[in-house]
Amino acid sequence: MKPQYLLIPGLLLLGACSAQTKEATASVPTLKDAFDGKFLIGGAINTRLVDGLDPKGDSIVSLHFNTIVAENCMKSEKINPAEGVYDWDDADKFVKYGLDRGMKVIGHTLVWHSQLAPWFPLGADGKYVSADVMKERLRNHIHTVVGRYKGKIHGWDVVNEAILDDGTYRKSPFYEILGEEFIPLAFQYAHEADPDAELYLNDYSMASPAKRDTYVKLINDLRSRGLRIDAIGMQAHMGMDYPDFDEFEKSLVAFGDTGVKVMLTEWDMSALPTVNTGANISDTTAYNAMLNPYPDGLPENISREWNARMEHVMDMCLAHADIVTRVNAWGTDDSMSWKNGWPVAGRTEYPLLFDRNHNLKPFLKKYLPQE
Ligand code: G3I
């Protein structure tokens, strides 16, 4: 007997086979069908979901996504907490989760200044190690992590957030010790460890013209050295008043013009007031109310505006589907987004593709195949 799929808004439940349910169970329109042949669609998932502690999240991921990325479990502080020590538990389960569902599994991230294992750049004296030692550590880390998942991970965010908004290099430990060379080295090591894996540069604020220019130079430099780089990840953390969509699109096109593909890798859009740290409000209660104005649900007019902005971005991706190969939300449903805790803790945010009841956001409905 074939299992039947019961349609509940935004959710798929396995149910018993019966004559009644048969009639009510046409195939469910899914996001992965909607964008089939255009680009992959997916989200970042956390260990709660992989461990079965978020069954509704699991349902939407399994039904709608054909790609997933590790939200935290592959970052160096987690996966390589001490020199020569690797903690594979969560990463192994994450990779298996995706492969069991036939998904393209994305690794995030090999080289990042944040959530960097504290030991990584430091010697026994607590000072930065030499360039030679750092190269060896970088090589070991990348070879070990990429090597373990050779043939299983579709693509890696090799270097994350290396460039500042003004187009200069971030003064990370990698940069301080190895200079600009840490980027080509990381790409070389990743390719050595898995020649078939796609390799990406990933960053936020990609609408910045200065950042765009530096990334274009960087891609051209990597390519002129014969190094593999497949795509630029535009993180796409957005809000109600940023980014400038025209500048964002210019960057998307400029990256595509270099010959690499483009991915929206960490897409979310805050529906809350953008935090202005200079706000002159001395009453903390008033300040908190201003910053967290919709704890009980998004007002209709704000929801409409948010959906229109998201639709604009999705339409942009579709218009450039020759360049855009993956659209990836940074999370699954609103309740688990990092935006509930940043830049202000304890806000009720609405940034993702699914709401707290695991229903698809309205703007997505127009893309779904019609029944
Ligand atoms: O795992 C510990 C847990 O043991 C501890 O009890 C708890 C107490 O705070 O913290 C847990 O770690 C948290 C971790 O997420 C896992 O939940 C960290 O505090 C928290 O800082 C960390 O935040 C992550 C953040 O990266 C770190 O910079 C977010 O979940 C994750 O969504 C976010 O993702 C980044 C991308 O990797 C890169 N681009 C920006 C994006 C958003 O910041």
- Ligand 1 centroid to 72 CA: how many Å? 6
Q: In which element (H, E) is residue 315 found?
A: helix 300-319
pTM here? Answer: 0.92
What confidence score (pLDDT) does residue 281 get? 58
What confidence score (pLDDT) does residue 14 get? 38
Please indicate whether residue 198 is annotated as part of the active site: no
343: cis peptide before it, omega within 30°?
Answer: yes
Please indicate whether residue 266 is annotated as part of the active site: yes
Q: By alpha-carbon position, which residue is closest to atom 35 of ligand 1?
A: 71
Nearest 5°: the CA angle 229, 235, 237 is 175
Catalytic residue (one of 71, 161, 198, 349): 161
Q: Residue 84: phi, psi to the nearest 5?
A: 75, 0
Q: State pLDDT tens for residues 93-147.
A: 999 999 999 999 999 999 999 999 999 999 999 999 999 999 999 999 999 999 9
Q: Phi-psi category of 260—alpha, beta or left, where left has phi over 0 and alpha has psi -120 to 50? A: beta
Q: State pLDDT tens for residues 233-246.
A: 999 999 999 999 99
As a whole number of angstroms, the distance between CA 89 and CA 74 comes to 10
Tallying the residues shown for the chain, one arrives at 371
- Ligand 1 centroid to 120 CA: how many Å? 19
Catalytic residue (one of 176, 181, 198, 266): 266
341 lines ligand 1 (CB under 6 A): no
Average pLDDT, rounded, for the chain: 92
Tokens in use for 97? 């989760």
Question: What residues are paired with 35 via a beta bridge?
Answer: none
72 lines ligand 1 (CB under 6 A): yes
What confidence score (pLDDT) does residue 1 get? 29
- Residue 295 is which amino acid? P
Confidence band for 5, pLDDT divided at 50, 70 and 90: very low
Q: Are 232 and 266 in contact (CB under 8 A)?
A: no
Q: Residue 82: phi, psi to the nearest 5?
A: -145, 160
Q: State pLDDT tens for residues 50-97.
A: 999 999 999 999 999 999 999 999 999 999 999 999 999 999 999 999
Q: By alpha-carbon position, which residue is closest to atom 13 of ligand 1?
A: 72
As a whole number of angstroms, the distance between CA 219 and CA 227 comes to 10
As a whole number of angstroms, the distance between CA 207 and CA 237 comes to 11
Residue tagged 């300040």 (tokens): 287
Per-residue pLDDT at 21 exceeds 60: no
157 lines ligand 1 (CB under 6 A): no
